[in-house]
């Protein structure tokens, strides 16, 4: 059995002010994710990706359909969430180490374990020397790395990332991708990564789930059989372009 | 821009010069406006003789005590109103209504309940400052970023932990602003109430006494001292604010 099973997931929003009674955002979505798999969701802006993540992480309910994460409902599973807006999802009153430590504090970890975990992650991403800086003193890329470290420190069953790099510039977001894979390969956490950057989606993932415009349906599931560990030069390989074209062709007739 | 200090002193300096010219040339009668040098000498005299010290002490004592009581009641109440919608809707009208009553209009009522001594002054101060703190603590919670709470909820935080780790620190900058406003307000209320009844000491008492017997430079000197006290307290708060809620606006 797969680690994540999503079956016929639909979500509608009730709109009290609108004549059309409900707004359909997710339409009959089904997919499976294996343990340790890195899955990217690629789809147009506003197609309902964020809604899907809210439902998958258990902070919103589906209208119909089933979701099982390790055979449990989403509310009962442990999810590490990285948001696009790091400034509003992290804590500016805490230091870098303090922000990552939060994930351990709330689970009642003792001080020694907290320090070890935090320092290990910070060394891994090269932020150790900045550990005592306040969150607002960092650059955008460093802030998002801190957010990623917090999600890993939480030791989740499932990692969910909602366009984490889309407010960073091109080269920073590529670097972040490498850093992410670098921490990810250590634990091989099952990861769902939402992106509207096709290169990023292919570069990171084992498979790309392509979503349609709203209401989001699964258009196609594309396997990415590129070797790991991935290096940036994979971006210019023939295999990469083949996958890229295959995905882009899916959107050709959608207007 | 030129040196910051230049801009800082230029307008006060102009006011002082205009004041000195008008009063020394007796354009305005010294009965209304004494010369700056007379007021300055009076300030020196008040401090040298030490007669002003009990007044400063009592005014500050009442203002701070009222302010502390206001913090102890107003901040928790405001946080609760921000956190719980049912508490918010139960109390919103009452708080907004009481806040609309000019504080000094309530002084006779407070005199009735708390007597003419210190208690009524401190109680009115606490009342006024408390309402400001309730509102600010409440807004502090309401203005918090929704995403921060959503992020906390994905980590299954709720109840007191959510309050302690996210909501309270998020509200702190706004609480501090409220404290800064309400400490200034406390000083105002205390000085006004001291002018009425029931005390032999206090800056308000000295101001009204001096005016009644036409010791006009003493009146000006005391007003000046009250102003400087308010100014210093405010500066002190800004100093503390920058250190405690260092992340504000970042």
Structure confidence at residue B19 (pLDDT)? 94
- What pLDDT, in 10s, does the model give residues B2-21? 788 888 899 999 999 999 99
Structure confidence at residue A160 (pLDDT)? 95
Minimal C-alpha gap between A131 and chain B (Å): 16
A105 interfaces chain B, CB cutoff of 8 Å: yes
Roughly how many angstroms between the first and final C-alpha of chain B, as a whole number? 25
A99 plus A204 within the same structural domain: no
- Whether A58 maps to a domain, the answer reads yes
Collect all residues of chain A within an 8 Å Cβ-Cβ radius of residue B154. 57-59, 79-81, 160
The chain A residue lying nearest B164, using CA atoms, is: A106
Minimal C-alpha gap between B243 and chain A (Å): 11
- Whether A175 maps to a domain, the answer reads no
ipTM rounded to 2 decimals? 0.87
CB B41 within 8 A of CB B215: no
A160 plus A150 within the same structural domain: no
- Which of A88, A100, A133 has the most B C-beta neighbours within 10 Å, making it the best mutation to test the interface with B? A88
A24 plus A72 within the same structural domain: yes
- Which of A87, A92, A99 has the most B C-beta neighbours within 10 Å, making it the best mutation to test the interface with B? A92
* Residue in A81, A134, A135 nearest the CB of B151: A81
What would the mean pLDDT of A225-244 be, rounded to a whole number?
91
Q: CB distance A59–B150 less than 8 Å?
A: yes
The CATH number of the domain holding residue A10 is 3.40.50.300
A73 plus A187 within the same structural domain: yes
Minimal C-alpha gap between A27 and chain B (Å): 24
Beta-bridge partner residues of A81 = A160
Confidence tier at A59 by pLDDT (50, 70, 90): confident
What would the mean pLDDT of B37-63 be, rounded to a whole number?
96
What would the mean pLDDT of A92-116 be, rounded to a whole number?
93
* Residue in B147, B148, B161 nearest the CB of A106: B161
* Distance between CA atoms of residues B238 and B235, nearest Å: 5
- What pLDDT, in 10s, does the model give residues A122-150? 998 889 999 999 999 999 999 999 999 99
- What pLDDT, in 10s, does the model give residues A182-209? 989 888 899 999 998 899 999 999 999 9
- Whether A213 maps to a domain, the answer reads yes
- Is the pLDDT score of A255 beyond 60? no
- pTM equals 0.88
Q: CB distance A106–B172 less than 8 Å?
A: no
Q: How many structural domains are present in chain A?
A: 2
A248 plus A162 within the same structural domain: yes
The chain B residue lying nearest A74, using CA atoms, is: B154
A61 plus A162 within the same structural domain: yes
Structure confidence at residue B38 (pLDDT)? 95
- Whether A174 maps to a domain, the answer reads no
A86 interfaces chain B, CB cutoff of 8 Å: no
A187 plus A73 within the same structural domain: yes
- Whether A173 maps to a domain, the answer reads no
Structure confidence at residue A43 (pLDDT)? 86
- Whether A171 maps to a domain, the answer reads no
CB A223 within 8 A of CB A237: no
- Whether A216 maps to a domain, the answer reads yes
- Which of B149, B156, B157, B166 has the most A C-beta neighbours within 10 Å, making it the best mutation to test the interface with A? B156
A150 plus A192 within the same structural domain: no
What would the mean pLDDT of B65-89 be, rounded to a whole number?
96
Structure confidence at residue A21 (pLDDT)? 72
Collect all residues of chain B within an 8 Å Cβ-Cβ radius of residue A58. 154
A15 plus A89 within the same structural domain: no
- Is the pLDDT score of B69 beyond 80? yes
Domain span at residue A94 reads 85-155
A115 plus A71 within the same structural domain: no
Roughly how many angstroms between the first and final C-alpha of chain A, as a whole number? 37
Collect all residues of chain A within an 8 Å Cβ-Cβ radius of residue B172. 93
A123 plus A47 within the same structural domain: no
- Whether A114 maps to a domain, the answer reads yes
Short-list B140, B230, B249, CA closest to B182: B230
A195 plus A137 within the same structural domain: no
């Amino acid at each position: 059995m797969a680690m994540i099973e999503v079956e016929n997931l639909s979500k509608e929003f009730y709109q009290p002010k609108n004549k059309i009674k409900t707004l359909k955002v997710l339409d009959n979505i089904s997919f499976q994710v294996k343990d340790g798999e890195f899955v990217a969701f690629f789809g147009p802006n506003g197609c309902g990706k964020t809604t899907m993540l809210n439902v998958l992480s258990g902070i919103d309910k589906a209208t119909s359909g089933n979701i099982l994460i390790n055979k449990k409902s989403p509310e009962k599973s442990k999810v590490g969430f990285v948001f696009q807006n790091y400034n509003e999802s992290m804590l500016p009153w805490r230091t870098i180490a303090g922000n990552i430590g939060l994930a351990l504090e709330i689970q009642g970890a003792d001080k020694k374990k907290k320090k070890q975990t935090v320092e290990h992650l910070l060394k891994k991403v090269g932020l150790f020397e900045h550990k005592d800086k306040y969150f607002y003193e960092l650059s955008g890329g460093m802030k998002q790395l801190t957010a990623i470290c917090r999600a890993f420190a939480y030791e989740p069953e499932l990692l969910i990332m909602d366009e984490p790099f889309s407010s960073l510039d091109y080269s920073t977001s590529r670097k972040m991708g490498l850093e992410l894979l670098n921490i990810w390969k250590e634990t091989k956490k099952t990861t769902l990564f939402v992106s509207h950057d096709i290169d990023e989606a292919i570069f990171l993932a084992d498979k790309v789930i392509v979503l349609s415009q709203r209401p989001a349906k699964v258009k196609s599931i594309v396997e990415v059989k590129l070797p790991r560990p991935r290096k940036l030069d994979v971006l210019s390989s023939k295999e990469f372009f083949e996958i890229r074209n295959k995905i882009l062709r899916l959107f050709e007739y959608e207007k | 821009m030129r040196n910051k200090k230049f801009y800082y002193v230029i307008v006060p300096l102009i006011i002082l010069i205009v004041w000195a010219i008008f009063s020394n040339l007796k354009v305005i009668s010294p009965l209304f406006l004494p010369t700056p040098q007379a007021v300055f000498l009076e300030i020196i005299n008040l401090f040298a003789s030490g007669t002003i010290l009990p007044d400063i002490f009592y005014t500050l004592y009442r203002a701070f005590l009222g302010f502390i009581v206001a913090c102890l009641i107003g901040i928790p109440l405001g946080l609760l109103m921000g956190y719980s919608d049912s508490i918010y809707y139960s109390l919103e009208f009452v708080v907004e209504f009481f806040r609309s009553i000019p504080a000094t209009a309530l002084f006779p009522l407070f005199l009735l309940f708390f007597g003419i001594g210190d208690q009524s002054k401190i109680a009115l101060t606490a009342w006024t400052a408390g309402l400001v703190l309730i509102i600010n603590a409440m807004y502090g919670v309401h203005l918090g970023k929704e995403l921060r709470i959503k992020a906390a909820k994905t980590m299954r935080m709720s109840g007191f932990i959510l309050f302690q780790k996210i909501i309270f620190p998020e509200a702190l900058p706004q609480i501090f602003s409220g404290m800064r406003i309400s400490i200034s307000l406390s000083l105002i209320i205390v000085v006004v109430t001291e002018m009425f009844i029931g005390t032999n000491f206090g800056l308000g008492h000295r101001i009204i006494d001096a005016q009644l017997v036409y010791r006009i430079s003493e009146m000006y000197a005391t007003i000046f001292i009250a102003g400087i006290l308010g100014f210093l307290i405010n500066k002190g708060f800004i100093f503390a604010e920058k250190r405690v809620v260092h992340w504000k606006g970042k």
